Structure 1
């Protein structure tokens, strides 16, 4: 068995000096996969993702990227190593234009990044149309596209998305999921926290149900969708 490309392995930890929120939690993703983290409110889903990105103390366990232990690296150092992260809120610069937001995403690059911007416009055509508009004037779904696009500007080796469809309509949610699938088809592993559990499991190659900061169920999206206990406890029957 080869090790997953990104793995948060047996992570226990919490914020600052506060109590542990994660308890021996393991999440992982491989190139070309979409891995989703679902579970009830307060289950530690976003905390688990933030732990892999270095935003809280991992008191035991480790985080490894492409075989390298990155447990003690800062989030900024992890971006340089190839991690892209899209937080749930405050994930754009509202007063800047769409294109300026994308340019901000290229802050670690020293090469010509115009071709990457064009790739993002191909992925999200509406952003090309609105490239000179202030990002704060866009709809919720369009702002999420800007946030994902900005993370892709770093040319990440792995992309972390914290509830990308929060607060958007079902139609926009379906469109965002389609775009996420397109990104994964380029080979970029995607680790995603999602409240819309059923829809997320439908597109998941790998899935984790967390309860109280610990792994409760692990499998493919299809396996968890078919699991009677998962359906009863988390999917409404």
Structure 2
């Protein structure tokens, strides 16, 4: 059987000390939304960083579109089509919204104005505030800038580390709607999210991690319906 479009398989490793991940596997197909949930300290962000090459694996491999990228740097993975939006420090606060988006196109040598227009279509508020310093924006608007900047590289995979952290429920719903729109264009989404219930509602696939290992893997709907998952991880 062919690999999924992106897979981190049997990932074991940490940041130099004890292993944080233990035989952890994450995968996402083209145009699919895969969500990683679990308790605090479960290794969710660590697992996604491992897929992006920010963590050295002792065991396991990462493959993108059939190519083994396990030993590539994060920068090289961006050139291969991976976009990563960290949870914090993900925009240039002193630069305008437009300048932030332009920074996202740093790897490109073609005319990126069409991509910028697509980002503005996706996030109309960014077009309205394009000449404003990004540091003056609300938390939700900053997240839109961060996602928009990652989209400027024209990624085939977009990785989001807790994109709704610290935003209001209304802004969270809006961000999730935009994420669904991005996936509909054929971009794969791999996302870590604290708001597990809401995230699983939009997920094609969900991973529940506990102590750096897979505890449950299923469709978002199936995980939402699983009594043990609901009781233990979704508050009943």
Range into which the TM-score falls when normalised by the shorter chain? over 0.9
Indicate the residue corresponding to 2:95 in structure 1.
96
The DSSP-based 3-state class of the residue aligned with 2:178 is helix
Per-residue CA deviations over 1:71-117 (Å, capped at 9, x if unaligned) read: 00000000000000000000000000000000000000000001100
Separation (CA, whole Å) in 1 of partners of 2:27 and 2:159: 11
Q: Any stretches of 5+ residues in structure 1 without a counterpart?
A: none
Indicate the residue corresponding to 1:189 in structure 2.
188
Per-residue CA deviations over 1:121-163 (Å, capped at 9, x if unaligned) read: 0000000000000000000000000000000000001100000
Structural RMSD (CA): 0.5
1:3 Cα deviation from its structure 2 partner: 1.2
1:2 Cα deviation from its structure 2 partner: 2.5
Indicate the residue corresponding to 2:204 in structure 1.
205
Indicate the residue corresponding to 1:2 in structure 2.
2
Separation (CA, whole Å) in 2 of partners of 1:197 and 1:157: 24
Separation (CA, whole Å) in 1 of partners of 2:180 and 2:30: 12
Separation (CA, whole Å) in 2 of partners of 1:55 and 1:42: 18
Provide TM-score, normalisation by structure 2. 0.99
* 1:149 and 2:148 aligned: yes
After TM superposition, what 4+ stretches of structure 1 lie above 3 angstroms from structure 2?
none
Indicate the residue corresponding to 1:71 in structure 2.
70
1:32 Cα deviation from its structure 2 partner: 1.3
Alignment of 1:14-163 (within 5 A): 14-15=14-15, 17-163=16-162
Provide TM-score, normalisation by structure 1. 0.99
Separation (CA, whole Å) in 1 of partners of 2:57 and 2:122: 35
Separation (CA, whole Å) in 2 of partners of 1:105 and 1:19: 35
Indicate the residue corresponding to 1:220 in structure 2.
219
Q: Any stretches of 5+ residues in structure 2 without a counterpart?
A: none
- The aligned length equals 236
1:58 Cα deviation from its structure 2 partner: 0.8
The DSSP-based 3-state class of the residue aligned with 1:199 is helix
1:47 Cα deviation from its structure 2 partner: 0.2
The DSSP-based 3-state class of the residue aligned with 2:13 is strand
Per-residue CA deviations over 1:54-77 (Å, capped at 9, x if unaligned) read: 001111000000011100000000
* 1:11 and 2:11 aligned: yes
Alignment of 1:162-177 (within 5 A): 162-177=161-176
